[in-house]
Amino acid sequence: MVDSSKTYKPPNYTENKGNDDLSPDKYFQHILNSRAAFAPKSYSNAYLFRSKRDGKAPDIDDDGCAIFWKKEILKPVELGFLRVPSDTEKSEAVLALTLQHLETDMTFNVITTHLPSGDEPKKELERLAVLNNPSARWTARRICFDDTSWKELPYENNANFVGITSYVKYFAQRKDTKTIFALDANSRPSFPPIKPASSSSETNVWETILRDTGLESIWVQSSCLKITGEPINPPKPFVVSVNKMRGPSSNQPSKIGID
C-alpha cells in the first residue's frame, strides 16, 4: 500500500461483468482509489479456477502484477498505471511505482507487467502488439504524493503513450533517477524475428524492448548474454533456474513438475 492509512479492498464482482469494479469503465477508479501497487488482471485464470471450485466465494480475487518494498528503507512517491487496450470486458495494466530512498533521497522507477504467453509465432506477435501499437487506444493515469496527501496528476508534457515500451521509455528518460523494468516477457532472446503490424522490419520481444526503451538487460550487463541475446558461454547458457509449480486446480498436469 502506498497509503499506510488504507487497507486493500478486493474488487467487487456482480452478475453483470460490465458493472464490476474491474470493468473497463471502472478499472482506473478502482486501482487508483485502492492506493495499492497492484494492477489486477480481471477474469484471470486464477479467478476462473477459484470461482469454478468455490462458486460465489466472497474472497474470490484476480491475479495481476504487484510491487513490494521495505517501508523502513523506501517510500513511494508516485504510483501509475498504463491500461492495456482490450476489445472485451477484461482489464489489465502495466504498473509503475516511483520510490525514494529515505537515507539518500535518491529516486528510482520500478515498472512491471506480464506479456501474453505461448511459444507460437502468433503469440510473439501478440506480445509485440502490446509493446508497441500506435493504432490502439492507450490510457495512463497516476497519483503523486505532495508531502501531505496523494493526488492525481497528468503525466508531464502530455505524454502520448502508444504501447508498453513508450511508457517505460518515459520513465527511463527522466533525469536524476534510475529505472528498472521487471517483467514476465513469456518470450526469449532467441525467439525467431517476426514482422509485427506496427513495423516494416522483423523483430522480437527482446530486441524491441532494448531498442525502444533505451534500457540495458541485466544479463548483458553481467556478461551472461550478448546484446543479440546469444549466450556468452554456449555450453552453459543459463545462470539461474526457476521451478514453476502450479496447483492441481489449474488442470495443467504437464506443468506441475511431474514430467
The DSSP string of 110-156 is EEEEEPPP-SSHHHHHHHHHHHS-TTS--EEEEEEE-SS-EEE-PPG
Q: In the structure grid, which three cell numbers stand for residue 108, read together?
A: 528510482
Domain contains 11: no
- pLDDT, tens digit, 9 for 90 and up, residues 238-256: 777 666 666 655 555 555 4
Specify if 58 maps to a domain.
yes
CA distance 47 to 8: 18
Residues 155 and 166 in one domain: yes
Instruction: Look up the pTM and report it.
Output: 0.89
**Is residue 106 one of the residues assigned to a domain?**
yes
Average pLDDT over residues 183-197: 93
**Is 33 in the same domain as 55?**
yes
CA distance 153 to 17: 29
Please report whether residue 34 resides in a domain.
Answer: yes
* Model pLDDT for residues 93-113, shown as the tens digit of each residue: 999 999 999 999 999 999 999
Q: What residue numbers bound the domain in which 192 lies?
A: 17-215
Sign of torsion over alpha carbons 223, 208, 182, 149: positive
116 lies in the same domain as 128: yes
Instruction: Give the total number of structural domains in the chain.
Output: 2
Q: Quick one: 173 and 237 in the same domain?
A: no
Residues 6+ apart with CB under 8 A from 95: 37, 38, 39, 65, 66, 67, 80, 81, 111, 112, 113
Is 169 found in the same domain as 199? yes
Q: Identify whether residues 182 and 63 lie together within a single domain.
A: yes
Task: Answer for the pair 92, 64: CB distance below 8 angstroms, yes or no.
Answer: yes
Assess if residue 7 is contained within a domain: no
For residue 1, tell me if it sits in a domain.
Answer: no
How far apart CA 217 and CA 232 sit, in angstroms, is 14
153 and 248 assigned to the same domain: no
**Pair 211, 222 in one domain:** no
> Which percentage of the chain shows pLDDT scores above 90?
58
- E-assigned strand segments in the chain: 38-40, 64-66, 74-83, 93-101, 107-114, 139-145, 150-152, 177-184
The answer to whether 213 and 224 are in contact (CB under 8 A) is no
Residues 144, 227 within the same domain: no
| pLDDT reported for residue 179 | 98
Average pLDDT over residues 165-182: 96
Q: What is the mean pLDDT of residues 37-63?
A: 75
The answer on 134 and 240 residing in a single domain is no
Q: How many CB atoms lie within 10 A of CB 19?
A: 13
- Does pLDDT of 80 surpass 70? yes
Both 155 and 227 in one domain: the answer is no
